[in-house]
């Protein structure tokens, strides 16, 4: 592992700010008293993961009126129609600010931190030490707020991931002004991190070369 990039992408529970204020919710523990009257819209993976819904129930003793499995791209709109009250979210999701959501504090520290960092085989670094030096230029260079802004451009404005990543590097003075723009692909993704996840097989192969 190389040095962290400056943000983590963890699970969290969130709901609309006006709803949270009305119910006096600040932490997940606060949620326990009202959860039996709430409908939760959770991603399918979150529902199945032990460090997701199952573990969360054990840790906090949460019981919801109903848990509805939903696609990530549909969950926020579902709160507008009243179909659900509460969502599982990623802490780097750009839509949190657009939809004016409040992330409930994980006061029992159930969700583990998922700090972003580059993983490179030691053998590769020995052969190409310049690779580590280049990647380490990103150490603590991207804070959570900045990453949410970048993800929002992808999620709501439909900008291609390579283009957003390129502009972020330019803003950090890590790419020259005359550096060629990346060619947009037909592949879609709703965030920089999810794009990297879809490319995990290619990344693993290249790491092992």
Cα–Cα dist 163/181, whole Å: 7
Q: 85 burial class (0-12, 13-18, 19+ CB within 10 angstroms)?
A: buried
Q: What is the pLDDT of residues 108-134, one digit of tens each?
A: 999 988 888 888 899 999 999 998 998
What are the pLDDT digits (tens) for 13-27?
999 999 999 999 999
**Structural domains counted in the chain:** 1
Predicted confidence (pLDDT) at residue 209 exceeds the cutoff of 70: no
Q: Is residue 150 part of a domain?
A: no
**In terms of residue numbers, what domain contains 59?**
10-103
* H/E segment holding residue 74: helix 72-80
Q: What's the pLDDT at 184?
A: 56
Q: What CATH number did the domain enclosing 48 receive?
A: 3.40.190.120
Residue at 31 is within a domain: yes
**Residues in Cβ contact with 94 at an 8 Å cutoff, skipping those fewer than 6 apart:** 148, 149, 150, 151, 152, 153, 154, 155, 156, 191
3-class state of residue 1 by DSSP: coil
Does 36 fall in a domain?
Answer: yes
* 164 to 69, 101, 155, 158: CA distances (angstroms): 30, 24, 11, 10
Distance between CA atoms of residues 112 and 44, nearest Å: 19
* Residue 14 is assigned to a structural domain of this protein: yes
For the whole prediction, is pTM greater than 0.95? no
Q: At 193, is the pLDDT very low, low, confident or very high (cuts 50, 70, 90)? A: low
Q: Shortest CA distance to 104 belongs to which of 184, 14, 192?
A: 14
pLDDT band at 87, cuts 50/70/90?
Answer: very high
Residue 81 lies in a domain: yes
Q: Is residue 53 part of a domain?
A: yes
190 assigned to some structural domain: no
Residue 90 domain-assigned (yes or no) = yes
Q: Coil, strand or helix: which one is 155? A: helix
Sign of CA dihedral 168, 174, 176, 181: negative
């Amino acid at each position: 592992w190389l040095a962290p990039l400056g943000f983590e992408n963890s699970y969290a529970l969130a709901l609309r700010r006006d709803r949270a204020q009305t119910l006096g919710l600040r932490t997940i523990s606060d949620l326990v008293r009202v959860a039996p009257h709430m409908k939760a819209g959770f991603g399918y993976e979150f529902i199945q993961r032990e460090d997701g819904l199952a573990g969360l129930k054990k840790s906090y003793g949460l019981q919801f009126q109903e848990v509805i499995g939903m696609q990530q791209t549909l969950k926020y709109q579902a709160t507008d129609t009243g179909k659900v009250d509460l969502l599982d979210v990623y802490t780097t999701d750009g839509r949190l600010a657009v939809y004016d959501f409040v992330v409930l504090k994980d006061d029992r520290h159930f969700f583990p931190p998922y700090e972003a960092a580059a993983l490179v085989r030691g053998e590769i670094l020995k052969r190409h030490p310049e690779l580590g030096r280049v990647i380490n230029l990103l150490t603590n260079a991207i804070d959570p707020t900045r990453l949410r802004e970048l993800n929002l451009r992808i999620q709501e404005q439909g900008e291609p991931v390579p283009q957003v990543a390129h502009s972020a590097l330019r803003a950090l003075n890590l790419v020259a002004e005359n550096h060629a723009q990346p060619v947009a692909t037909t592949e879609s993704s709703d965030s920089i991190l999810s794009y990297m996840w879809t490319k995990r097989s290619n990344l693993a192969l290249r790491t092992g070369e």
